[in-house]
Amino acid sequence: MKLEKEKFYRILAPRPAVLITTIDKEGRINAAPFSFVMPVSSNPPLVAFASALPRDTLSNIRETGEFVINMPSEGILDKLWICSEKLPKGISEIEKASLSEIKSNIVLVPRIEESFGWLECVLEFEKEAGDHIIVVGRVVDVEVKDIFWREEKLDVPKAKPLLHITGKDFVVAERVVKVD
């Protein structure tokens, strides 16, 4: 079946769904899910996501130069969904979703405690790309909850990362297959 070209990303799926936290210059926290996300360099460690416009996430990053990529598990899917609601700037999605903020190690932007891991990032650069802005961040701290880290790898069946298909459809990654 041929698809509309604009929908190509629907077969480049499922994609990891993350929750990005940011703060504005007054220190008010914001959280939103993103799935146009990818690693771009390991040394230096760089990660990218693509933001449509307008997004409080993007305007906060432009104000403060920092963000945290929080890795959500299946258990907080409903809360992630609440964070995708368009709330007035300054109203905390984290509070609305009953998620918990915890201090980050390096950046001022808080982490979401209920995640299985965190990438603390500082803005490296941004680049316009079609109807999105690619935001590239330098990872300045990375941490995973001990119980989800096994033999130098993420214990995927335990962490149950959320992957986005499109709209309200997600996949929970649970089964590992190995090459012989």
For residue 86, state whether it binds ligand FMN (rule: CB under 6 A).
yes
Q: How far is the CB of 92 from ligand FMN (least distance, A)?
A: 10
According to DSSP, the residues that pair with 11 across neighbouring strands are none
Rounded CA gap, 29 and 21, in Å? Answer: 7
Q: Among 36, 134, 155, 160, which residue interacts with ligand FMN (rule: CB under 6 A)?
A: 36
Whole-number minimum distance, CB 170 to ligand FMN, in Å?
7
Phi-psi region of 140 (alpha: psi -120 to 50; beta: other; left: phi over 0): alpha
Run of H or E including 61: helix 56-64
DSSP conformational letter for 17: -
Our finding on whether 55 is near ligand FMN (CB under 6 A) is yes
Check binding of 82 to ligand FMN (CB under 6 A): no
Strand-pair partners of 107? none
Closer to ligand FMN by Cβ: residue 75 or 147: 75
CB nearer to ligand FMN: pick between 72 and 117: 72
Which residue, 14 or 45, is less far from ligand FMN as judged by CB?
A: 14
Q: Does 64 bind ligand FMN (CB under 6 A)?
A: no
CA distance 36 to 18: 9
How many residues of this chain interact with ligand FMN, rule: CB under 6 A? 17
Tell me: does residue 34 bind ligand FMN (CB under 6 A): yes
CA 127 to chain centre: 18
